[in-house]
Structure 1
Amino acid sequence: MSGPIATIHVLFSVLAIAVGVVIFSIRRGTPVHRRLGYVYIGAMLALNGSALMLYARDGSFGPFHIAALLSLATLTAGAVPVMLRRPRGGWLPLHWELMSWSFVGLIAAAVAEAVFRIPGIAYWPSIITGTLAVFVGGGAWVYRNRRHMRQAAGHVTGA
């Protein structure tokens, strides 16, 4: 992976991770949260768009392109409830959960990218192991916080 598209991909990946960490660290629903959310969405669109332009030597569409499409789907599914305030009474927890999964997927991709570059580690086993580890840990985090998010959303979902 080299060239200007790869550089763009890496830069927007780092931006999305940094902004995502901040978003999950600050109070939700604030103007800062909203602005950073737009930055996160823009960075994710750029990194997934660039991922769809990166090809192996043979130029074929591969599993990482599918992952980019799934990431775009999760990102879109997480953004739409906020913009439409739908479903009524349930858009906030839906937004939180889908954006959480978007971030988990981003971290899984970063871990897979880092792990497979360790010398002496097999390519596919490292990617699968790294990705599964992050999704299991991230899934546990989403599950643990789901009830709290639904309870907190009960106070503001009519907005």
Structure 2
Amino acid sequence: MVAGGLVIALPKRGLMHRRIGYVYVISMLLTNSSAFLIYHLFGRFGPFHALAIFSTITIAGGFVPALFRKKVKNWLHWHYYFMNWSVVGLYAAFWAELTTRTLPMGRFWMLVLIATAITTGLGSFFIRKHAKRLTGA
């Protein structure tokens, strides 16, 4: 979460951005991989496994274009949107987990949906707000 926040908040297109980005990508790949070791919630493949797959897709969607930027048309556009949505997803999962563990309402899925909706709404606003400035599009 720290690396995701830093890579979003700090200046782009530099060595520091790249290094923190690598830390973020590796951390997220390890986190998503570890999600597949958890089966005690549903006893089988569950919604959190599907979200780990989706998260891995967003990581790949942002990392691969940056890695092959000379071969990918509009690589910065793809990198910007996929990586930002990856971080928003991470924070949505954090807020959903935090609210379900701290609020005594007993409505797990409702809390997950509310926390996710608020986080993705705010994320969408800021992604769009800064897109033109950061991608030039």
TM-score (ref. length: structure 2) = 0.92
Aligned to 1:82: 66
The 5-angstrom pairing of residues 48-67 of structure 1 reads 48-67=32-51
Structure index of larger Rg? 1
Structure 2: runs of 5+ lacking an equivalent: none
For the 8 Å contact 2:80–2:135, the answer to whether it is kept is no
- The answer as to 2:13 corresponding to 1:39 is no
CA RMSD of aligned residues (A): 1.4
Kindly report structure 1 stretches of 4+ aligned residues shifted beyond 2 Å.
none
Structure 1: runs of 5+ lacking an equivalent: 1-16, 155-159
Shift of 1:94: 1.6
- The answer as to 2:57 corresponding to 1:105 is no
CA deviations on 1:48-86 (whole Å, 9 max, x unpaired) are 111121123542111111111000000001000011114
The 5-angstrom pairing of residues 113-132 of structure 1 reads 113-117=97-101, 118-132=103-117
Aligned to 1:145: 130
CA deviations on 1:124-154 (whole Å, 9 max, x unpaired) are 1001111111111111111111121222xx7
Identical aligned residues as a percent? 33
Residue of 99, 105, 119 corresponding to 1:134: 119
Separation in structure 1 between the aligned mates of residue 79 and residue 21 of structure 2, nearest angstrom: 11
Question: Would you say how many aligned residue pairs link Structure 1 and Structure 2?
Answer: 135
